[in-house]
Structure 1
Amino acid sequence: MTDLSPSGSSVREAELFLEAHPEIEAFDIVLHDANGIGRGKIIRRHELLGLYKSGRHLPISILGLDIVGEDVHETGLIWDQGDGDLRAWPIPGSLKPLHGTTPPRGELLMSMYHLDGAEMTSDPRHALARQVKAMAAEGLYPAGAFELEFFLLDPDRAQGVRPAAAVLDGRRSDWTEVYSVDHLHGMQPLFSDIYRAAEAMGIKAETVISEYAPGQYELTLHYRTDVMEAADDLVRLKRIVRMQARRHGVVACFMAKPIEKYAGSGMHFHVSLCDAEGRNIFAEAIEGEWTDTIRHAIGGLRETMGESMLVFAPHANSWRRFANQSYAPVSPSWGVNNRSVALRIPAGDIKARRVEHRPSGVDANPYLVAATILAGIRHGLKNRIDPGPETTGNGYEGGDDLPIPGDWREAIAAATASAFLKDALGEDMHRTFTAIKAAEYQRVARWIADVDYELYLHTV
């Protein structure tokens, strides 16, 4: 057993924070599981220094839970190991105040380790860290940012799932109102609190827009030179949005497809690669004459997309998002300045050249998404994979020689059998993730939904 923090955290960080924030009475300590759900505890102020000195014991089973918090025995993380305790340690730099809590609280991100200090490799953070380290060994340094799409919904579901009324004046709209600035004004008090909460955490939340469905919005995040920080930003911003929405009496929804007739919510990841001198190696010398680096990166992402779709679309509801003319890709296509493809090279300054990876729903785990994307890029660069011809025009027309799974069940089978994904996530994380998804599939398959009664109760 070790009392030296394997995460690199320092007791001094906690001491300085407590000195600067005498008002804070408690802390949410948060560790993210395979589904990206924050699990942990709320500790009191006097417990913080002890946590930094010795970590915090948490059961190993916390990383083997399904979407509703039930044990998944097939992960091997429950009774196979006696559900013993491991130790979670603070993530350096992640101790931050929470905005608007009464009494005042802070938040601290955690990561799981074995008692001897070795990484617990069913922790999604370690999967991403592993890919970042592998890229660094190859002289490559990824940078990126996620986009966050979500719905704000009425908490009363008696009349069905519908957009929330404006928190400013109660105005309700069932129109799409995409890019309407005036429509945003009705939610401005909520967004002001979201921005204040993000600032308190050192997160640079940027542009907000009214997205392509009633009640749907998008927040963009500042581009990070560290993709781990980019993933941290996303999970923390989701928590901020949910918390602040609740304070304003509305529901923040991060389902991929909450309303049947409207567009779903994505979690696009913008990624670029730098060399040791900080140069963007995706950037071409002459605009439009793509480098081999960006072409091979796209080739690797295309070739591995089918077997990776479970990471990008991990839930039953995720697969309702994919439909023609929906702004969600239905094939591993690539293109330039084209929102109908899966892998988009956005227009803009050459120095900011990047790939926008568009398949992931907002319900996906950003640590696993980023790890899988980096692994796909490495695969493409190592094998110099040609991405094939660029898709121009309508990417929903025509087929693709590299199809993706047609549904959740196919995606689970493809991911479970994938040697690439096992290497991308690490053997333990791969086993944990696919076992959880298989168990969740069985839960949904047993569920007798309302549609069964609508179709069959009086007909068969």
Structure 2
Amino acid sequence: MTQCPSGATLAEAKAFLDAHPEIEAIDILLHDSNGIGRGKIIRRHELEALYTSGRHMPISILGLDICGEDVHETGLIWDEGDGDKRAWPVPGTLVPLHGANPPRAEVFLALYELDGTPVGYDPRLALQRQVDAFAERGLTPAGAFELEFFLLAKERGPDGKMRPAADVLDGRVSHKTEVYSVDHLHGMLPLFSDIYAGAAKAGIEAETLISEYAPGQYELTLNYRTDVMQAADDLVRLKRIVRAQARAHGVVACFMAKPVEEYAGSGMHFHVSLRDREGVNIFAEAPGKGWTDPLLHALGGLRATMGESMLVFAPHLNSWRRFANQSYAPVSTAWGVNNRSVALRVPAGDVKARRIEHRPAGVDANPYLVAATVLAGVRHGLDRQLDPGPETTGNAYDQPDAGAGIPRSWHEAIVAAEGSEFLKQALGESMHRTFTAVKAAEYARVARTISEVDFDLYLHTV
């Protein structure tokens, strides 16, 4: 038996198998730079060996693009001979899957060198390094993500565009925005009941359900976690649950940032705070006092680093279609209180729950990298005692400097990220090289693709 560097124990696997005699197979998942789960399905009798010996996985598995193809510029393919590393289970992530037939479970993996050293290009371990950096100063990041998504019909409309899914309850279809309509939610309750059941089986505290600001768009909120890593795990696992249950009900769960041009896109807002050794939230101000220095410095750091970090928050071409005036997606680095037009919002509410809502990321972003980058930005501000500047009141979209310092396109964001010393520190050099190389390769793929837009605009006109 080899010592498991992740801290997972054979006792966990044995207890799970004893508690779930019905489980026949287990999905074992690493998450790549795009947040896509990649791995294998193993049989029940193989689980214990995963916990005692790990599982060899090719180094290239974390150097793939959105299509699952090798990106040689990552340096993870033939530069390394595409050799095996060893994946180990992450403690506490072995859970049953609701509705799987035959019954299955899933467990998250982290990738290590053969000698047990963490690799530098695993997004999960990039976040862990930021969490460890705060631990060294006696602080623990806490947080939660919001999950926005669309439920769409399997078939496109006559115009070739995606359509909102019909209600799974009775087949009704609404093309209205229906924001905050409770009655509208009722038509999807059978599906959402299965999503909640899947979340409960996985130990995820999925909470409020909302009909969002577009036909077919919804939001699920997640309980605030005292462990940011758990918050990121919750988000990637919940996306998988939503996708699987939607498929079982005959509809498509869409996590594109902007699937419908006429309506708002889908964000992945990240709420974050810091607690000291006594569990006190250091962002929380004393009664009757102004904002704390840690809160202001954190905002300052996030504003200062946002431009060069936007590729993490908006990693795909489609991500950039989400940013538009009056769209609830931020177009500047502005901060404000109880204001949804800004990028960095301090929500109203109980002082003890004081936090920053980081709003730039789309739901298509990798939550591990988003959290790692946000935490690094907070540390940047704390270390340098950065002033965030004046609070934005009113409409941030109308500010004279709206958009200053923010890339205006996917390509600009790639260039900014490639040259960012901050992002190298935030993600680690290996993760930074892998992520930016993958994005550059994806940009090249899109740039050489002749789309329907080309034919529509130019076929009969030039």
Q: TM-score, normalised by structure 1?
A: 0.99
Q: Is the Cα contact below 8 Å between 2:85 and 2:114 reproduced in 1?
A: yes
Are 1:447 and 2:449 an aligned pair?
A: yes
Q: Match for residue 141 of structure 1?
A: 140
Q: Match for residue 316 of structure 1?
A: 317
Q: Match for residue 395 of structure 1?
A: 396
Q: Match for residue 83 of structure 1?
A: 82
Q: Is the Cα contact below 8 Å between 1:26 and 1:42 reproduced in 2?
A: yes
Q: Is the Cα contact below 8 Å between 1:333 and 1:400 reproduced in 2?
A: no
Q: Distance in 2 between matches of 1:7 and 1:399?
A: 49
Q: Is the Cα contact below 8 Å between 1:332 and 1:400 reproduced in 2?
A: no
Q: Match for residue 304 of structure 1?
A: 305
Amino acid at match of 1:371: A
Q: Is the Cα contact below 8 Å between 2:207 and 2:221 reproduced in 1?
A: yes
Are 1:217 and 2:242 an aligned pair?
A: no
**What is the aligned-residue RMSD (CA, Å)?**
0.9
Per the TM alignment, residue 286 of structure 1 is displaced from its structure 2 partner at its CA by 2.9
Using the aligned pairs only, state the percent identity: 74
Q: Distance in 2 between matches of 1:448 and 1:398?
A: 37
Amino acid at match of 1:404: I
Q: Match for residue 61 of structure 1?
A: 60
Q: TM-score, normalised by structure 2?
A: 0.98
Q: Is the Cα contact below 8 Å between 2:179 and 2:212 reproduced in 1?
A: yes
Residue 240 of structure 2: SS of its match in structure 1? helix
Q: Is the Cα contact below 8 Å between 2:177 and 2:215 reproduced in 1?
A: yes
Per the TM alignment, residue 288 of structure 1 is displaced from its structure 2 partner at its CA by 6.5
1:133-172 paired onto structure 2 within 5 Å? 133-159=132-158, 160-172=161-173
Q: Distance in 2 between matches of 1:17 and 1:258?
A: 39
Q: Distance in 2 between matches of 1:253 and 1:288?
A: 44
Amino acid at match of 1:32: H
Q: Match for residue 8 of structure 1?
A: 7
Change (3 A) 1:343 1:287: farther
Per the TM alignment, residue 398 of structure 1 is displaced from its structure 2 partner at its CA by 2.0
Amino acid at match of 1:441: Y
Residue 370 of structure 1: SS of its match in structure 2? helix
Amino acid at match of 1:64: G
Runs (5+) with no aligned partner, structure 1: none
Q: Distance in 1 between matches of 2:172 and 2:315?
A: 35
Runs (5+) with no aligned partner, structure 2: none
Q: Match for residue 100 of structure 1?
A: 99
Residue 323 of structure 1: SS of its match in structure 2? coil
User: Cα deviations across residues 272-296 of structure 1 (Å, max 9, x unaligned)?
Assistant: 0111110000000135610111000
Amino acid at match of 1:135: F
Q: Is the Cα contact below 8 Å between 2:157 and 2:163 reproduced in 1?
A: no
Per the TM alignment, residue 62 of structure 1 is displaced from its structure 2 partner at its CA by 0.2
**How many residues matched?**
459
Amino acid at match of 1:201: A
Q: Match for residue 241 of structure 1?
A: 242
Per the TM alignment, residue 120 of structure 1 is displaced from its structure 2 partner at its CA by 1.0
Amino acid at match of 1:431: R
Amino acid at match of 1:421: L
User: Cα deviations across residues 268-321 of structure 1 (Å, max 9, x unaligned)?
Assistant: 000001111100000001356101110000000000000000000000000000
Q: Match for residue 431 of structure 2?
A: 429
User: Cα deviations across residues 299-355 of structure 1 (Å, max 9, x unaligned)?
Assistant: 000000000000000000000000000000000000000000000000000000000
Q: Distance in 1 between matches of 2:168 and 2:142?
A: 36
Q: Distance in 1 between matches of 2:454 and 2:375?
A: 41
User: Cα deviations across residues 99-137 of structure 1 (Å, max 9, x unaligned)?
Assistant: 001110001000100100000110001100000000111
Q: Match for residue 458 of structure 2?
A: 456
Q: Match for residue 183 of structure 2?
A: 182
Residue 225 of structure 1: SS of its match in structure 2? coil
Q: Match for residue 71 of structure 1?
A: 70
Q: Distance in 1 between matches of 2:287 and 2:385?
A: 21
Q: Distance in 2 between matches of 1:406 and 1:375?
A: 23
Q: Match for residue 360 of structure 2?
A: 359
Equivalent residue for 1:410, pick from 409, 412, 416 = 412
Q: Distance in 1 between matches of 2:307 and 2:288?
A: 30
Q: Is the Cα contact below 8 Å between 1:57 and 1:85 reproduced in 2?
A: yes
Per the TM alignment, residue 162 of structure 1 is displaced from its structure 2 partner at its CA by 0.6
Per the TM alignment, residue 399 of structure 1 is displaced from its structure 2 partner at its CA by 3.3
Q: Is the Cα contact below 8 Å between 2:308 and 2:417 reproduced in 1?
A: yes
Per the TM alignment, residue 362 of structure 1 is displaced from its structure 2 partner at its CA by 0.1
Q: Match for residue 126 of structure 1?
A: 125
Residue 157 of structure 1: SS of its match in structure 2? coil
Amino acid at match of 2:166: A
